[in-house]
Structures are given as structure tokens and as C-alpha cells.
């Protein structure tokens, strides 16, 4: 598939997508933040969404989770229309989000933060899942009794991802996991995402400003400009595209 300019709707893939966003319009008060967005995420894929600050990437993440809800269009998760389902119920269906700004509960310990993530599933897996997270991010084990608010940015990001994983999601939404982190930590986090995808088939939808890393990791990517999807294609295609190199990859890998 070559790059398609997506002002016209994309072809529906043969198998049913895990998540389908169809013609979604979202408003913040009078501000028209998403202007007809279409996205498909297939089972087992890593899909990256890149775009400039304020393009509407995080708004799309939050619209998928129903806060704010889309005014027009539909969000369909595994064949079920979840556009009007309350946020806390969406999060019980197998979607988890590591949100923009990480949003660690600052006055809870690392362990309690992870417990909050697990609160949705039954607690029988808790101890074994906790061990898995500590294996994935050993730093968290050293910090388990410490309050979330006292962690460094990188540790908070690991905690936010681990918290999301504690609910054993089918679809993981990651909003800017590399923001403000040292390159070494970014590599650790991206490696962890790739491992989860390859070993467990976890489906990941990743929002990033760090276009180089995001597209290298992803099977497919979307580019968002001003609340609309402008370009889509495989990760490799997008990385090679002169248009994208000019707009998003200037200066190479950050």
C-alpha cells in the first residue's frame, strides 16, 4: 500500500479492527478540536500517531476514552459502539491509557499506583502481575514504597505505563511516553513497548511528537494536522517520505 492522502475515507481492512474511529468530531466548548478523524487499529499492531503540538493527538486519545465524548462520528471497539459509554466503563472493557502528563497519583506509593491500575481486574493475578511489572521496569521495584509524586520523570513514565498494563488491557493507549525524558530512558521505554507487542501480542496505539522513534517502532502510522488525518502509511513508508522528513524529522532522531 502506498501512501494515501486521507481526505477520503480509508478502505476498511479485511479483518475487523480492534478499534475503529469513524468520522469523529470533538469540541472543547466552542473549539473544534477534531474535524472528522478516521483511524483503524488491527489486532497485534503498533500504530503511531504523530503531529505537531496542538494538532489534536491527545484529544483523540481522550475521545477514545469518552472524556470528552465525540459530538459526531463513532468510536467502535471490537464491534461495539462506545462513543457514549462513560469513561470508567470503557476502561473496564480492556482499554488502558497512559495519559499525557503521566498523571501519577502523587500521594500514593508506587505499589498503590499499580494497585489502582489493577483495581479493574480481579485481584487474583495481582501479585504475579506486580512481579511482571517489576521485571519489565526494575526501577519501580526499588521505589515501590515511595510516593508517586517524588519519582523522577522517567520513573513516573514507567509507572504510568506499568499502571496501565496492570489491568491486562487488550489495547494500550500511550500518550507521549517520551516527553521530557533522557534518550537512554526513551530507548528503555520503547524497547519495553516492542517486547510487550512481540511477546504478548499487545495492541498499542501510540501518540508521539518524537516522530523518528514512533515511526521506527510502529507497523503503521498516521499524521495529524489541525484536527485531521493528513497522511497514513506503514512506519517505513512514512519515515522515507520527504514530506514527513521535512516537517517532522528535521534534525534526525531526537
Partner 1 sequence: MEYFVQQLINGLTLGSIYGLIAIGYTMVYGIIGMINFAHGDIFMVGSFIAMILIVALGITAGAGFIVLILALMLVLLMAMLFTSAWGWTVERIAYRPLRGSFRLAPLITAIGMSIVLQNFVQIVQGARVKPLPPLVSGGYTIMDGNNFDVQISNIQILILVTTVVLMGVFTYIINKTALGRSLRACEQDRKMASLVGINVDRTISLTFVLGAALAAVAGFMYLLYYGVIDFYIGFIAGVKAFTAAVLGGIGSLPGAMLGGILIGLIETFWSGYFSVEYKDVAAFFILAAVLIFMPSGLLGKPEVEKV
- Residues of this chain that interact with partner 1 (CB under 8 A) are 65, 67, 86-89, 91-92, 97, 99, 103, 105-108, 112, 115-117, 119-120, 149, 163, 167
Taking the complex as a whole, how short is the minimal distance between the CB of residue 33 and partner 1, in angstroms? 16
Taking the complex as a whole, how short is the minimal distance between the CB of residue 86 and partner 1, in angstroms? 8
Taking the complex as a whole, how short is the minimal distance between the CB of residue 65 and partner 1, in angstroms? 6
Within 10 Å of residue 230's Cβ, how many Cβ atoms? 17
User: 151 and 143 in contact (C-beta within 8 Å)?
Assistant: yes
Question: Do you find a cis peptide bond into 68, omega within 30 degrees of 0?
Answer: yes
Taking the complex as a whole, how short is the minimal distance between the CB of residue 96 and partner 1, in angstroms? 8
User: 79 and 237 in contact (C-beta within 8 Å)?
Assistant: no
Q: Which is nearer to partner 1, 144 or 245 (CB)?
A: 144
Q: Which is nearer to partner 1, 13 or 101 (CB)?
A: 101
User: 230 and 3 in contact (C-beta within 8 Å)?
Assistant: no
Taking the complex as a whole, how short is the minimal distance between the CB of residue 88 and partner 1, in angstroms? 5
Q: Which is nearer to partner 1, 96 or 244 (CB)?
A: 96
Q: Which is nearer to partner 1, 108 or 136 (CB)?
A: 108
Within 10 Å of residue 148's Cβ, how many Cβ atoms? 25
Q: Which residues pair with 220 in a beta bridge?
A: 47, 234
Q: Is 51 helix (H, G, I), strand (E, B) or coil?
A: strand
Q: Which is nearer to partner 1, 80 or 243 (CB)?
A: 80
φ, ψ of residue 81 in degrees (nearest 5): -75, 115
Amino acid at each position: 500500500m502506498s501512501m494515501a492522502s486521507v481526505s477520503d475515507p480509508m478502505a476498511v481492512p479485511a479483518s475487523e479492527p480492534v478499534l475503529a474511529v469513524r468520522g469523529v468530531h470533538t469540541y472543547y466548548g466552542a473549539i473544534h478540536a477534531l474535524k472528522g478523524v478516521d483511524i483503524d487499529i488491527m489486532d497485534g499492531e503498533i500504530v503511531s500517531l504523530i503531529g505537531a503540538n496542538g494538532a489534536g493527538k491527545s484529544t483523540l486519545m481522550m475521545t477514545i476514552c469518552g472524556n470528552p465524548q465525540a459530538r459526531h462520528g463513532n468510536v467502535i471497539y471490537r464491534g461495539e459502539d462506545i462513543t457514549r459509554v462513560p469513561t470508567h466503563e470503557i476502561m473496564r472493557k480492556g482499554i488502558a491509557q497512559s495519559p499525557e502528563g503521566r498523571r501519577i497519583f502523587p500521594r500514593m506509593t508506587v505499589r498503590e499506583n499499580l494497585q489502582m491500575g489493577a483495581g479493574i481486574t480481579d485481584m487474583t493475578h495481582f501479585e504475579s502481575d506486580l512481579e511482571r511489572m517489576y521485571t519489565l521496569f526494575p526501577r519501580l521495584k526499588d521505589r515501590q514504597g515511595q510516593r508517586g509524586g517524588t519519582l523522577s520523570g522517567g520513573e513516573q513514565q514507567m509507572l504510568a505505563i506499568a499502571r496501565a498494563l496492570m489491568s491486562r488491557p487488550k489495547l494500550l493507549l500511550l500518550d507521549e511516553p517520551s516527553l521530557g525524558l533522557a534518550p537512554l530512558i526513551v530507548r528503555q521505554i520503547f524497547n519495553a513497548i516492542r517486547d510487550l507487542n512481540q511477546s504478548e501480542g499487545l495492541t498499542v496505539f501510540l501518540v508521539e511528537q518524537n516522530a523518528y522513534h514512533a515511526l521506527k517502532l510502529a507497523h503503521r502510522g498516521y499524521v495529524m494536522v489541525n484536527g485531521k488525518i493528513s497522511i497514513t502509511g506503514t512506519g517505513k513508508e512514512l519515515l522515507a517520505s520527504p514530506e514527513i522528513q521535512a516537517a517532522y524529522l528535521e534534525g534526525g532522531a531526537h
